[in-house]
A and B are shown apart, each in its own frame.
Chain A
Amino acid sequence: ETGVTQTPRHLVMGMTNKKSLKCEQHLGHNAMYWYKQSAKKPLELMFVYSLEERVENNSVPSRFSPECPNSSHLFLHLHTLQPEDSALYLCASSQGQLASTDTQYFGPGTRLTVL
Chain B
Amino acid sequence: DTGVSQDPRHKITKRGQNVTFRCDPISEHNRLYWYRQTLGQGPEFLTYFQNEAQLEKSRLLSDRFSAERPKGSFSTLEIQRTEQGDSAMYLCASSPPGRPNEKLFFGSGTQLSVL
Q: Are A and B interaction partners?
A: no
Q: Give A residues with C-beta under 8 Å from B.
A: none
